[in-house]
Structure 1
Amino acid sequence: MTIKQLQRATLQCQGLTKKYPFGKGKKAALSVLEHLGYVQIDTLSVVERAHHHTLWSRLPDYQTEYLDQLVEERDVFEYWFHAASYLPMKDFRYALPQMRQFKRGEARFYNTIDPKILDYVHDKIRLDGPQKARDFASHNKKSGSWWDWKPTKIALERLFMQGDLMVCGREGMEKIYDLTERVLPGTVNTTEPGSLEFAEYLVKTYLRAYGITTIKQITHLRTGKALRKNAEQVLQTMLEAQTVQQVKIDGMPTIFALSDLLENSIKKPSPSIRLLSPFDNSVIHRERLEQLFGFDFRLECYTPKPKRQYGYFCLPILFGDEFIGRIDCKAHRKNNQFEIIHLHIEKRQGDIEVWLKPLVKTIQQFAIFNGCQSIRLSQVNSPKLLGILKPFFAENEMMF
């Protein structure tokens, strides 16, 4: 199998090669999430937040209220995958091992908390119903603790992480907590999986979402030799059953790929452009992204401004099956303007006519998704490209 075939296979499994690979509407949004296994939550709002952006990239008619409705309808819940995420409710039981670790005090938590405060917070929600952090009055006038959280907010997060509370909704980005027994549907399986079964869940989740995987990807941000050993055992069983095959590519670790994927012909994706969130499932494993696509991507919003190479919040630009650059942009929602702060085209500058129209179209669609009505182009990494692109994005020009 060639590197190009692997690229196309994983993009196909990620739902990034067709316009509506999961259908349309709210039901399709749930299908996307169940297929990917999780969607990462992020609070940054330079452009539409990552969880909405990731779904929109696979569902062009996506509306941000879909996700809120899926949480309200108990089809989706919030917890931890490798980071804070939305997860399919049907997979709730696979969050139980980590919840129980927190409950037993085995998992790291950044603050100690008085058990009396935990009881107070739990009892208030039990008696008064769902609560937000600001619904609690702080009894602590001191600052300097972790993120300056008041004790009740720390208690809320601790109770959430150990599974006593769940997020039943959000007001903006502020979580609304309720007792788990009042949020979790009675039909959900709450049997805690064993260590081998949990490893099998991770292996199959990655294979379903990417078509291919490595041991390192499966254990990404998860510690412990036992998990690695169990993942290797699951993959060995699948190799023996011929449901997966090993693929060797020079310069890359051993890859495990779904046999069905290898046996079917993988078509070249349509020449469309996708502007991906920095937290999109397809690019979140930076080492994998560089190994597979030769695309070195880093999010620079946490880098001091003088040291940034591309910009504060760059989005990878995917053209068909190739990452051709990145775009640093910002939605100025007060004046409904979408600003392209700096467009970096790193590949295919010589055949601009191939990707120019798809790029312009996608930027316009993304601006609309961000609630903007005009587009302004500030800078391009090539004077020649700037001259070509400027007429499409004249300052304050109404585009749609």
Structure 2
Amino acid sequence: MVHRLTREQARRIALDGQLLTSERPSGIVETIDALTILPIDPTSAIAPSVDLILWSRLGWPYSPADLVRLFEEDRAVFEWGGFYRAMTDLPLLLPEMRRRPESVRAREWLAANDSFRREALARLRAEGPLHPSDIPDTAQVSWRSSGWTDNRNSQQLMEMLALCGDVAVSSRDAAGRLYDVADRVYPADVPQLSDEDAARERGERRLASLGIARAKGLAQPIEPIGAGELGEEAVVEGLDGVWRVDPEALEHVDAFPPRTALLSPLDRAVFDRRRLEELFGYEYILEMYKPAAKRRWGYFALPILHGDRFVGKLDAKADRKAGVLRVFAVHEDEPFDDTTRSAVEDEIRDLARWLELAPVGVGFG
């Protein structure tokens, strides 16, 4: 059976999977569990992406300090592969951890540095948690690359061992990540799943978070964005090809309570730019790497969602020294009507209030 969806239905399925309706989730762990991953990025033009993503779902009750507590103390959240995840997903990652490192070069480097690896694990066991800079570099063979990892052997070792599941990120501070042996971060009584069962459940959860996706998406090293053969086939009115849709999402496809939201550019709701343009007719590019003169929307412009459409971009910056959220521009893809403008301005005020800043600039005096 192939489901036939209107573009509007497909958009609503996608947004519902991402918790972008007026029916907000009740807590941080519930939100991360539903989204499956929360991308970690240091850019903080307005707020770090992890915080923007959680605020956009939870609203004013969300406090970054609560996420830190859940990660560092309660161990209800863990970090792996550049994402925060609910600890209940750890069993789904263990089979992949056992397969890593995947590249021949990385495996050969670890084998050549076996004594370095054992010494680092022993130091963590005795003294951890530690920054990579606290671990003496006793590598027999140095890591070579054309990037920032060149000759950073302790950093490279910790990242590899974290992906392998031998160590884990225990906490973060101003100097970066602190690592510890995995059994002091991860729970001991973790269910053991086969590679096939773990991959299937992980894929099903990913599709549920996306709602609808192509079988193949943009290649990603850690977290694919395609659905493979999971879910059920669907065609979307006006779009070529076949999609995969989460069958549970079809049960309430026409029950969509809308809201207005400001999203991080790294939000998974907008991460797949091709899908974003196909389903929503929305063009977006993160312009922080462009020269200022070539930017159309701004350094870290936030996509603006209104109902089931993305309608513009917010160019703003948090100036904490001055105590203000500077609104440089609200780019309207199409001219806003009064209702849309009022809803967007209210959301900007809510963002400023959550940041404990006063909104100033375009539309705010």
TM-score (norm 1): 0.79
Q: State percent identity of aligned pairs.
A: 28
State the 1:287 CA deviation: 0.9
Q: What code does the residue aligned with 1:206 have?
A: R
Residue aligned with 2:204, SS = helix
In the other structure, the counterpart of 2:279 is 292
Match of residue 89, structure 2, among 88, 91, 101 = 91
Aligned length: 353
In 2, the alpha carbon distance for the partners of 1:92 and 1:180 equals: 12
> How far does the alpha carbon of each residue in 1:164-197 deviate from its partner, in whole angstroms, 9 at most, with x for none?
11011111471111101111112222x2532x33
State the 1:37 CA deviation: 0.9
In the other structure, the counterpart of 2:170 is 168
In the other structure, the counterpart of 2:25 is 22
- Aligned residue runs from structure 1 range 364-383, under 5 A: 364-372=349-357, 374-377=358-361
State the 1:66 CA deviation: 1.8
Q: Is the 8 A contact 1:42 1:50 kept in 2?
A: yes
Residue aligned with 1:47, SS = coil
In the other structure, the counterpart of 1:182 is 184
Q: What code does the residue aligned with 1:68 have?
A: V
- Aligned residue runs from structure 1 range 1-400, under 5 A: 1-18=5-22, 20-23=23-26, 28-60=27-59, 61-71=61-71, 72-80=73-81, 84-103=82-101, 106=104, 114-136=113-135, 146-147=147-148, 150-172=152-174, 174-189=176-191, 191-194=192-195, 196-217=196-217, 220-221=219-220, 231-232=228-229, 235=230, 244-264=232-252, 266-270=254-258, 272-349=259-336, 351=337, 353-372=338-357, 374-377=358-361, 389=363, 393-394=364-365
State the 1:138 CA deviation: 6.2
> How far does the alpha carbon of each residue in 1:336-380 deviate from its partner, in whole angstroms, 9 at most, with x for none?
11111232111243x2x11222222211111122332x22215xx
Residue aligned with 2:216, SS = helix
Q: What code does the residue aligned with 2:209 have?
A: A
Q: Is the 8 A contact 2:41 2:49 kept in 1?
A: yes
Change (3 A) 1:144 1:104: closer
Change (3 A) 1:110 1:287: farther
TM-score (norm 2): 0.86
Change (3 A) 1:107 1:70: farther
Q: Is the 8 A contact 1:132 1:174 kept in 2?
A: yes
Q: What code does the residue aligned with 1:264 have?
A: H
In 2, the alpha carbon distance for the partners of 1:110 and 1:363 equals: 51
State the 1:108 CA deviation: 5.7
Question: Which sits farther off after the overlay, 109-118 or 325-334?
Answer: 109-118
State the 1:51 CA deviation: 0.9
Ranges of 4+ aligned residues in structure 1 off by more than 6 Å: 109-113
State the 1:92 CA deviation: 1.2
> How far does the alpha carbon of each residue in 1:211-258 deviate from its partner, in whole angstroms, 9 at most, with x for none?
2222114x74259xxx99x942xx3xx6xxxxx353343334311223
Q: Is the 8 A contact 2:208 2:249 kept in 1?
A: no
Residue aligned with 2:303, SS = strand
Q: Is the 8 A contact 1:269 1:321 kept in 2?
A: no
Pairwise CA RMSD of aligned residues? 3.0
Task: List alignment gaps of at least 5 residues for structure 2.
Answer: none
Change (3 A) 1:369 1:220: farther
Residue aligned with 1:331, SS = strand
State the 1:122 CA deviation: 1.6
Residue aligned with 1:46, SS = coil
In the other structure, the counterpart of 1:384 is none
Residue aligned with 2:268, SS = coil
In 1, the alpha carbon distance for the partners of 2:180 and 2:295 equals: 41
Residue aligned with 1:283, SS = helix
In 1, the alpha carbon distance for the partners of 2:119 and 2:270 equals: 42
Change (3 A) 1:246 1:144: closer
Change (3 A) 1:108 1:346: farther
> How far does the alpha carbon of each residue in 1:140-172 deviate from its partner, in whole angstroms, 9 at most, with x for none?
9xx996316632222222221221110111114
Residue aligned with 1:324, SS = strand
In the other structure, the counterpart of 1:382 is none
In the other structure, the counterpart of 1:241 is none
Question: Which sits farther off after the overlay, 305-314 or 273-282?
Answer: 305-314
- The higher-RCO structure (CA 8 Å, 6+ apart) is 2
In 2, the alpha carbon distance for the partners of 1:334 and 1:134 equals: 31
State the 1:128 CA deviation: 1.0
> How far does the alpha carbon of each residue in 1:198-221 deviate from its partner, in whole angstroms, 9 at most, with x for none?
44224311332122222114x742
Residue aligned with 2:316, SS = strand
Q: What code does the residue aligned with 1:120 have?
A: E
